[in-house]
């Protein structure tokens, strides 16, 4: 009986180490897995780093395809500036803008989001949104600031860039940028716009 007891503890340690090793091997987030379906390949393509998306320049210096509506094209210069500064594809910013406001700088949603990129301000309806530590948007700009198109594009692009960096891919960043209750629906809408306006 004593011989069996002296093997129990080492066997337990060995088994625990084996479980930890196998778990890390199976659930390693950095492990590269080859896509075995067309859907997985499409999702992997959407998750490509933003910096790898090449802008498609028009002869007039606008990095947006001519197929975008004029309501979006009129904001080409501030979109290009924000894209260059924050390292995003201008077409992605334009796709968010088209989905959010249709290019209308005075857009105001029923939830209180403001302007071209539909950013939640610290005042107005958004001031009533409470989080665990107080008002959810207390560090955000005011409605007045966000109704300025240049400021709104810059701030919205900064937010989007930060979310893409935080979550590691475009679709996840867009999911976080969109309405809380929409899940991936919002992200997929924006990506469809992005892909349709080439």
- Identify the pLDDT of residue 85: 97
| Residue 170 clears pLDDT 70, i.e. is over it | yes
Residue 100 near residue 117, CB atoms below 8 Å: yes
Quickly state the pLDDT bin for 51 (edges 50, 70, 90). very low
- Identify the pLDDT of residue 121: 86
Question: Which residue in the list 39, 70, 100, 145 is annotated as catalytic?
Answer: 100
Within 10 angstroms of residue 136's Cβ, the number of other Cβ atoms is 16
Query: DSSP of 38-62, one letter per residue?
Result: HHHHHHHHHTS-GGGS-----TTS-
Give the C-alpha distances (Å, rounded to integers) separating 134 from 122, 127, 139, 180: 12, 10, 11, 18
Residue 127 near residue 92, CB atoms below 8 Å: no
Reply yes or no on whether 100 is catalytic.
yes
**CATH code linked to domain 47-196:** 1.10.530.10
- Identify the pLDDT of residue 29: 39
Closest CA to 92 of 62, 64, 115, 69: 64
């Amino acid at each position: 009986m004593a011989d069996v007891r002296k093997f129990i503890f080492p066997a337990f340690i060995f088994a625990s180490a084996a479980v930890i090793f196998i778990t890390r091997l199976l659930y390693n987030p950095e492990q590269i897995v080859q896509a075995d379906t067309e859907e997985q390949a499409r999702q992997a393509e959407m998750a490509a780093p933003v910096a790898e998306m090449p802008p498609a320049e028009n002869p007039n210096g606008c990095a947006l395809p001519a197929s975008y509506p004029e309501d979006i094209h009129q904001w080409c210069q501030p979109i290009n500036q924000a894209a260059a500064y924050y390292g995003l594809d201008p077409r992605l910013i334009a796709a968010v803008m088209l989905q959010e406001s249709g290019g209308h700088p005075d857009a105001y949603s029923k939830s209180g989001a403001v302007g071209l990129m539909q950013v939640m301000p610290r005042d107005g309806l958004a001031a009533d949104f409470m989080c665990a530590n107080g008002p959810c948007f207390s560090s955000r700009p005011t409605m007045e600031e966000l109704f300025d198109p240049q400021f709104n594009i810059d701030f919205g692009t900064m937010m989007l860039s930060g979310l893409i960096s935080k979550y590691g891919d475009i679709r996840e960043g867009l999911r976080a940028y969109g309405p809380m209750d929409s899940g991936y629906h919002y992200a997929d809408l924006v990506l469809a716009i992005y892909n349709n306006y080439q």
